[in-house]
Amino acid sequence: MSKVTYRQADGSANTIEVPVGWSLMEAAMQNSIEGIPAECGGGCACATCHVYIDEGDMSKLPDLSDMEGDMLECVAAERLPGSRLSCQIRMTDELGDLTVTIPSEQF
Amino acid sequence: MTGDVFVVIGAGQAGIQVCNSLRNSGFCGQLILVGDEDILPYQRPPLSKSFLLGDVDEQRLFFRPQSHFDKQSIEPLLGTKVIAIDRSAKRVRLEGGRTLNYTKLALTTGTRVRELDCEGAANNAQVHYIRSLNDSIALRNKLAEVERVAIIGGGFVGLEVAAVTRKLGKAVTVYEAEDRLMGRVVSPMLSEFYSDLHRENDVSLCLGERIDKVEVSNNTVQIYTNKQQSLDCDIIVAGIGAIANDEIALEAGLKCDRGIIVDNRCLTSDPNIVAAGDCTVHFNQFAGKTVRLESVQNAVDQAKIAASTMLGGESVYDQVPWFWSDQYDAKLQIAGINTDYDKYLTAGRVGDTRFSIFYFKDDRLIGADSINDPSCHMAVRKIMSTKSVSVSQIQENLSDLKSFAKQ
């Protein structure tokens, strides 16, 4: 199973195994990773599950949908090249291990 | 605050949010979350969407795992019904006779489904509702065995179920008593858009039809309506609204009016009791009237304020209401409450895959409906939370609402 490391803004980190099919948001919620409120529960409707993908991992991810791109315009923390909504990234066999950083604010 | 005992009744979206907000704000007293279902708090929106479709499994619906409750010292008291609140003793009585003393109490009791009350509907195993996880599991299992689904109620839940059941290849008929879909929450233009969308997806729509009677014989359900029509189907799914669970509040003498009345700090008529979420009614500045909102936004935002109030804070609930619904490939996002508009403006063409409609009252923006247009939706939420804007201001800034929102 692939491992995802969630790094907090303060530098602390947790690494968890993420089953295929789960989103990075769901895996964070089910493992008590703080900082991802995900208020709409993965509907791509609230922009409160923003994460920064590590530069080295960015090319592995599928492209942004228009919807996700639009919602990223509205995130509370600064939008950076690695910005993604963790509810829209699903673990696949091909994706492999990832590292993401959780921004300090989601609202 | 050690020594304090805060009790939260109702383990849905608002209940878990009250608990999390209390702990995040440094509350270190005892914290008990009472829920009548025997499982940890879970998300309800997917029950009529991705979960029903089978895209999401049960485990992924939970807000937090058991370890979160352990780590945060939140005591879930599940499968437990609250019988009464004794306000003078500051005590809650549970089913089975156990009592809990509280310093502060939060009511996040949510709603229950309104049941079909026509002839033949009561205790009819072919009539399904969706409120709980078990409801959705039962319907999901049933859908695997049947071909013809009749949906009663053309609101969010009914139409989301219609979209799911069409995706599953079922024959779907939707009955709506009013003459248009989602009439309570969206404008006639948007109702029209959704009628077209469902018809394009081969849903048979029966508007302005009320159900008089349902009959079951040989596993076939027959539906009779006020238009003397009858239809054979395999199951009925009814989504005809919800009723606030305000009985224990009412019996305890708290002010209620088809919901527990709260002020802008989510305080009930008892200074030691707050309430939040679907079970409450409040004066909403964006609606300009007293409303009972059924939404994730209202549950989450009121819960945060309720937690703050329990801790003696002065924060007030002033968030812009928002809602969403997923049907087929159309994501509807609603900002504000726009039922009383006197003017509207569209961005894009209504009926295209992406458009928004802005609503105004007395030359002031009161809300917007967006179809597959999240940037517009988010901009409107931001604009409404910071300023009052006119029709001409929206017109002038239509090409770049995002920048306007930031000004």
Beta carbons of B378 and A32 less than 8 Å apart: no
What is the mean predicted confidence (pLDDT) over B1-23? 93
d(CA B82, CA B248) in angstroms, rounded, equals 8
B84 and B138 co-located in one domain: no
d(CA A72, CA A80) in angstroms, rounded, equals 10
Domain of B348: which CATH number?
3.30.390.30
Out of A60-74, B121-135, B202-216, B298-312, least confident range: A60-74
**B-chain residues near A74 (CB < 8 A):** 374-375, 378-379, 382, 402
Q: Kind and range of the H or E element at B297?
A: helix B296-310
> Do B384 and B405 form a contact (C-beta atoms < 8 A)?
no
d(CA B347, CA B367) in angstroms, rounded, equals 13
Smallest CA–CA distance, residue B378 to chain A, in Å, is 6
> How many contacts, defined by CB atoms under 8 Å, are there between A and B?
62
Would you say residue B65 has pLDDT above 70? yes
Smallest CA–CA distance, residue A56 to chain B, in Å, is 28
B317, part of any domain? no
Would you say residue B256 has pLDDT above 70? yes
Beta carbons of B378 and A39 less than 8 Å apart: no
Beta carbons of A26 and B60 less than 8 Å apart: yes
**A-chain residues near B327 (CB < 8 A):** none
The two beta strands, B127-128 and B235-238, are parallel
B227 and B268 co-located in one domain: no
What is the mean predicted confidence (pLDDT) over B5-31? 97
Domain that holds residue B334: 329-406
B74: contact with A, CB 8 A cutoff: no
B339 and B359 co-located in one domain: yes
Beta carbons of B60 and A22 less than 8 Å apart: yes
pLDDT of residue B112: 97
d(CA B174, CA A8) in angstroms, rounded, equals 47
B135 and B232 co-located in one domain: yes
pLDDT of residue B402: 87
For residue A75, the chain B residue with the least C-alpha distance is B378
Beta carbons of A30 and B297 less than 8 Å apart: no
Sorting pLDDT into bands at 50, 70 and 90, what band is B228? confident
B222 and B259 co-located in one domain: no
Which is higher by pLDDT, A75 or B310? B310
Structure ipTM: 0.88
d(CA B241, CA B373) in angstroms, rounded, equals 27
B9, part of any domain? yes
Last residue of a domain, one of B200, B220, B238: B238
pLDDT of residue A46: 83
Would you say residue B62 has pLDDT above 60? yes
d(CA A73, CA B175) in angstroms, rounded, equals 39
Beta bridge partners of B77: B34
Of A32, A40, A73, the CB nearest to B68: A32
B360 and B279 co-located in one domain: no
B100 and B137 co-located in one domain: no
Q: Is B219 left (phi over 0), alpha (psi -120 to 50) or beta?
A: left
d(CA B111, CA B131) in angstroms, rounded, equals 9
B81 and B41 co-located in one domain: yes
B214, part of any domain? yes
The two beta strands, B30-34 and B74-77, are parallel
Long-range contacts of A56-59 (CB under 8 A, 24+ apart): A56/A99, A57/A98, A57/A99, A57/A100, A58/A82
B374: contact with A, CB 8 A cutoff: yes
B248 and B232 co-located in one domain: no
Smallest CA–CA distance, residue A104 to chain B, in Å, is 14
Which is higher by pLDDT, B219 or B319? B319
- Assign B155 to helix, strand or coil: coil
> Do B135 and B156 form a contact (C-beta atoms < 8 A)?
no
Sorting pLDDT into bands at 50, 70 and 90, what band is B1? low
- Assign A94 to helix, strand or coil: coil
B41, part of any domain? yes
Domain of B81: which CATH number?
3.50.50.60
Residue-averaged pLDDT of chain B: 96
d(CA B404, CA B407) in angstroms, rounded, equals 5
Q: Which residues does A contribute to its contact with B (CB < 8 Å)?
A: 22, 26, 29-32, 39-45, 47, 66-67, 70-71, 73-74
Q: By C-alpha distance, which of B63, B60, B59 is closest to B17?
A: B63
List chain A residues with pLDDT less than 70. Answer: none
Q: Which residues of B228-260 are buried (b: 16+ CB within 10 A; e: fewer)?
A: eeebebbbbbbbbebebbbebbeebebebeebb
B97, part of any domain? yes
pLDDT of residue B339: 83
Axis crossing angle, helix B188-200 with helix B156-167, rounded to the nearest 10? 20
Give the number of domains in chain B.
3
pLDDT of residue A83: 96
B74 and B146 co-located in one domain: no
Last residue of a domain, one of B238, B271, B295: B238
Phi, psi for residue B70 in degrees, rounded to 5: -65, -50
pLDDT of residue B57: 87
The full 3-state SS of A37-74, as one line of letters, equals CCCCCCCCCCCCCEEEECHHHHHHCCCCCHHHHHHHCC
B315, part of any domain? no
Q: Which residue is it, tokens 């969407």?
A: B49
B378: contact with A, CB 8 A cutoff: yes
**B-chain residues near A71 (CB < 8 A):** 374-375, 378
Would you say residue B2 has pLDDT above 80? no
B248, part of any domain? yes
Phi, psi for residue B333 in degrees, rounded to 5: -125, 125
DSSP code per residue over B239-284: ---EEE--HHHHHTT--BSSSEE--TT-B-SSTTEEE-STTEEEEE
Instruction: Count the alpha carbons within 13 Å of B166 in the hemisphere toward its beta carbon.
Output: 22
Phi, psi for residue B215 in degrees, rounded to 5: -135, 145
B290, part of any domain? yes
Beta carbons of A29 and B64 less than 8 Å apart: yes
3-state helix, strand, coil in chain A (%, to 5): 20, 25, 55
**B-chain residues near A28 (CB < 8 A):** none
pLDDT tens for each residue of B170-212? 999 999 999 999 999 999 999 999 999 999 999 999 999 999 9
Q: Which amino acid is at A58?
A: M
Q: pTM for this structure?
A: 0.95
Last residue of a domain, one of B238, B272, B292: B238
Of A26, A32, A67, the CB nearest to B374: A67
Q: By C-alpha distance, which of B16, B100, B1, B5 is closest to B306?
A: B16
d(CA B32, CA A10) in angstroms, rounded, equals 30
B178 and B211 co-located in one domain: yes
B146 and B232 co-located in one domain: yes
Interface of B with A in 81-110 (CB under 8 A): none
pLDDT tens for each residue of B330-381? 999 999 998 889 999 999 999 999 999 999 999 999 999 999 999 899 899 9
